[in-house]
Structure 1
Amino acid sequence: MVPASLQKSTIVRFIRRRSLGIFGAALPGVAARAAEGLWFRLPPVVPAPLTHSVPTVRELLGAPFEVDLRGRVVRGWSWGSGPVVYLVHGWGGDLEQMVPLVAPLLERGLQVVAFDGLSHGRSDAGAHGPRSSDAVELGRSLDAVAARFGPARAVVAHSMGALAALLAVLDGW
């Protein structure tokens, strides 16, 4: 059995950093590949316990959609009609995390569009493989969805999704 102290994230991070430093000096190519794998890997999916009733995607009577992004499929849901508001999840998240925002936006006469970025949720794996991604890829996922649904009245984003949305808006992918 592994001692509890070796399971703590700060100790694990220290060991990984030290190992990469040693490998970097002796085997730089191996260290670079290991670092890349760690950098782009999404965190494990651990559903948070719900403290209140949240409607599901299907209960909100939305329409599922798929868009192509360089031969990979980005999947999402759209609800309502009117000016478009995009919901962008964060690093390692999915559109389900944004569902509590759908009903209030619909009540304001907006069309709400949420999606799973590549390698997230129900979308295809991205360029870095399954469960691996980056902010640029999430931003490009948003851009592919926006190409289908049109200009945004607003973008509501969480954490890394905010960076991805900023990149998509500034670079106009």
Structure 2
Amino acid sequence: MVKKSFYDLAFGVAPGGARKDAHHILGSLDEVKAGLADELAEEINLYLLCSYGADLSLHVYQQEELTQSLDLHPFVTISIDGYPDITFKGPREPVGYDFRAEDGADDEEGLSFKMFCGSLGDAVRAEVDWSRIEVPPLTGEILAEDDEDDTVELADGNLASYGYQDFEE
């Protein structure tokens, strides 16, 4: 069996009050960009990034061996009308808005609550500065969409197939 190369766009939070362990197993950077755009289009996911400290990484597998992991937080900017832009130093380190100031507050007007409820609508946008991210190209045989029956083993031991899966569902 030929071992294939692929990208693993991983977005998740450790089990607790929220559960998410989403992986996009993909064969091209364009697919990764589209997958991340889909994740960042959901306000609940922005809430998980800003208030819950979700992990957001791109793992590069060459011939099914993890060769590089890239933290994508420093390349994400969340813009919300009426608020300063939110960027990240890294996981659990948002900059531009103090989400900790809302901890314990019963404030339905707070930004965390609005993100959680998905009430921001067109007022929120998330962008990724891909020009600053050095993503290595895949080498060898690359996992493709028509390889749906093929499974690959991720570094955490989970078996995954091409496309989207959430191991917490």
TM-score if structure 1 supplies the norm length? 0.27
Pick the structure with more helix per residue: 1
TM-score if structure 2 supplies the norm length? 0.27
